[in-house]
Amino acid sequence: MKSYLPSEFIVERDEDKCIRCKVCVNQCTYETHSYDEQDDVMRSKDENCVNCQRCVTMCPTHALSIKKNPGPFRDNANWTSEIIKDIKKQAETGGVLLTGMGADKPYLTYWERLLVNASQVTNPSIDPLREPMEIRTYLGAKPDALEMDLEDGDIELKTKLAPQLTLETPIMFSAMSYGAISLNVHESLARAATKAGTYFNTGEGGLDSRLYKYGEHAIVQVASGRFGVHSNYLNAGAAIEIKIGQGAKPGIGGHLPGEKVTDDIARTRMIPIGTDALSPAPQHDIYSIEDLRQLIYALKEATDYTKPVSVKIAAVHNSAAIASGMVRAGADIIALDGVRGSTGAAPKVIRDNVGIPIELAIASVDQRLRDEGIRNKASIVAAGGFRSSGDVLKAIALGADAVYIATAALVALGCTVCQKCYTGKCPWGIATSDPWISKRINPDIGAERLVNLLRGWSMEIKDMMGGMGVNAIESLRGNRLHLRGVNMTDTELKILGVKMAGE
């Protein structure tokens, strides 16, 4: 069938600058570039280009640039080029449209409509370069009250605290599974988390035994496929996360195609080489809240009650009630993943339409747990499209204890959010299991770039906190009086629990 699809991008090559070095040919995993020996010219197939910018970045003479194809279609606010192309694609394939990364539509974000406070006159702002500014965060269940005796000024604590995770910055790396991303990326995340005093999440594909040495900074995930889950794995991590859902694709499972299941991945996932790794939509041993309780306690038993157990859900309509049930079922951490959460592969229609914005989910879950007097029994970790320290700070002010970042971490490693992760051919060596491509990530450099990112964001958070006049993050957490809203309805302000700017 002849494809009616126009190419999305146009490759422009400055022939004066091009030295025919063929770097672009080698770098492009989509075979966009080729060298015609007979005519000594470089040629490119525009229709293959995904605009990942790999060739542009690597071209030694800056001869390349990629332009968006202005498009053959007439402007139409309803029948946009994207929609016309999607329909043609489906007419030609009869399949579900796949995509990668998080929702790319602008209408699902609240961060820009929330503004942060600063001190003026009546209280002093604090200079984080000259005074302590504390962002350390502990995740895990906290008691209602402490019992203690005081003898000769010496405090004798009688209450024993549940196990806690110690974060030197309230930012962790979110779940990305081995198989979806390469070993080198996993190692970069693991080393960066270790160095920055935070945690990385293994995702649902297990943890390669070579990375167990970073286990003290790992949150090991248990998902519906149970890939790579065994006693050593559970005990290797600092915490365990039960994955119920994911913001990019609430309510559905996952699919790692067999061609991506190489030796190492097969061993780690405990499946035969080359077989598809299918994660069922639900966890088939969790059809109700009491089933979740059983799994939480099975995992706690397996690790002798030494590790906090997190339960991750996609932010959906009834998140607040569900979260309350999860806390009562014994979860020490509630991870919420909003509608803008990212993924290696998801049906586009689900990514862009299912779930609710993380801002609203944080606000309603935090408030519900407070209304029920159980907010202290679990920490809240928010995920789903955090792009800057400003987003992180606002999430914490709304009521999150910490956030997970994934897209931002991958961007730090080279990702340009071209949304083609599902092809397995990531030219930046990130979302691939191809050993030749994945060498493009050097864990030494990767870890350094990630640590730099965390350091930069942490300093910015401290700067903003100092401006607000608070020198400890617990005074920011849930402190919605430091936020004001703009361009929102009364209902939106009410759910977020913030006042209108100027009020």
Given the rule CB under 8 A, which residues bind another protein?
A: 119, 122-124, 126, 131-132, 134, 136, 138, 142-143, 145-146, 148, 150, 153, 155, 157, 159, 161, 164, 370, 373, 375-376, 468-472, 474-482, 499, 503
Structure tokens at 358: 């993380």
CB of 144 to another protein, least distance (A): 8
Q: Is 270 in a helix, a strand, or coil?
A: coil
CB of 236 to another protein, least distance (A): 25
- Nearer to another protein (CB atom), residue 138 or residue 297: 138
Query: Per DSSP, what are the bridge partners of residue 154?
Result: 151
Structure tokens at 440: 């493009």
- Nearer to another protein (CB atom), residue 76 or residue 306: 306
CB of 483 to another protein, least distance (A): 9
Q: Is 64 in a helix, a strand, or coil?
A: strand
Listing DSSP states for 374-388 in one string gives -GGGSEEEEES---S
Query: Residue 333 — left, alpha, or beta (φ > 0 → left; ψ -120 to 50 → alpha)?
Result: beta
CB of 482 to another protein, least distance (A): 6
CB of 197 to another protein, least distance (A): 12
CB 217 within 8 A of CB 236: no
Pairing label, strands 402-405, 171-173: parallel
Rg (CA), the chain: 24
- Nearer to another protein (CB atom), residue 157 or residue 298: 157
CB of 159 to another protein, least distance (A): 7
- Nearer to another protein (CB atom), residue 299 or residue 498: 498
Q: Residue-wise over 327-349: b if at least 16 C-beta within 10 A, else e? A: bebbbbbbbbbbbbbbbbbbbbe
- Nearer to another protein (CB atom), residue 164 or residue 319: 164
3-state secondary structure string across 143-179: CCCCCEEEECCEEEECCCCCCCEEECCCEEECCCCEC
- Nearer to another protein (CB atom), residue 449 or residue 482: 482
CB of 402 to another protein, least distance (A): 13
- Nearer to another protein (CB atom), residue 243 or residue 480: 480
